[in-house]
Amino acid sequence: MKLAALAVNCAPVLPPSKVVAMNSVETIQSPNHYEILGADPMATLDELEGLFRKLAEEAESSGDHSNVPQAIEAFTVLRDPEQRQQYDQKLNGASAGQAVDSEVPADEASTDDSSSAPVEALSFEDELNLTPDVLNEHRRELLKMFYEKKRKDLRRSGIAIGGLDTVVPYSYELLEFHLWVLAEKKWVLREESGALSISASGCEAHEQNLLDGLVKPGQ
């Protein structure tokens, strides 16, 4: 059996202690699992598997297997929805910590540029008090992301839920709520792979938002 097929089909099932350890903020280093596979944080399972197979095949043809253990570890975590969710949340926490560490000291910062002040994330308790206008804006932007993915690649338009967690400016709990609303309205559908993609009615809803000036066109 070729290395690529062997690795995909026989990737190790890691014990909980190992998963927790390698998903902790302290152990998430650069390159992270997505960077190792060359994957977008919103990549679907099929896309992750394709990238992993490509890396394994390149290693097999070149004879250089030095990066295979990293690739196997990355794919093992990202292909499991629960492990991926935990990893994404830790990755977001690590990124936030790095951003804070890299900020310019207060005594060196310009007092004239208020835009340089860090934006504090809302706590989950604060999110419970968000107004319907703000919540609707969140969902319009989510729908826009699904719409643009569909327009760019009709046949591979799914977005993994764990990947969305890395790009939205609010908690995973609020993201789940927004996705539930979109699914109940049948504006997004779950694919066989587990990823979500926009429906025809969702496309019409987004285009109406564009006509009403509620969202800006994508780049």
Q: Which residues contact 162 (CB under 8 A, 6 or more apart)?
A: 41, 78, 81, 84, 85, 87, 88
Judge if 88 and 42 occupy the same domain: yes
Residue 20 pLDDT greater than 50, yes or no: no
Q: What is the mean pLDDT of residues 82-105?
A: 61
| Residue found under tokens 């046949």 | 155
Q: Is the pTM above the cut of 0.75?
A: no
Q: What is the mean pLDDT of residues 43-59?
A: 86
| Number of domains comprising the chain | 2
Residue 87 pLDDT greater than 70, yes or no: yes
Query: Which residue segment(s) compose the domain that 178 sits in?
Result: 124-211
Q: pLDDT of 139-178, one tens digit each?
A: 999 999 999 999 998 888 888 776 777 788 888 889 889 9
Residue at 107 is within a domain: no
Rounded distance between C-alpha atoms, residue 173 and residue 164, angstroms: 12
- Average pLDDT value over all residues in the chain: 76
The residue from 58, 83, 99 where one domain ends is 99
In sequence order, what DSSP letters do the residues of 58-103 get, joined into one string? HHHHH---TTHHHHHHHHHHHTSHHHHHHHHHHHHHHHHHHHHHTS
Rounded distance between C-alpha atoms, residue 84 and residue 93, angstroms: 14
Residue at 205 is within a domain: yes
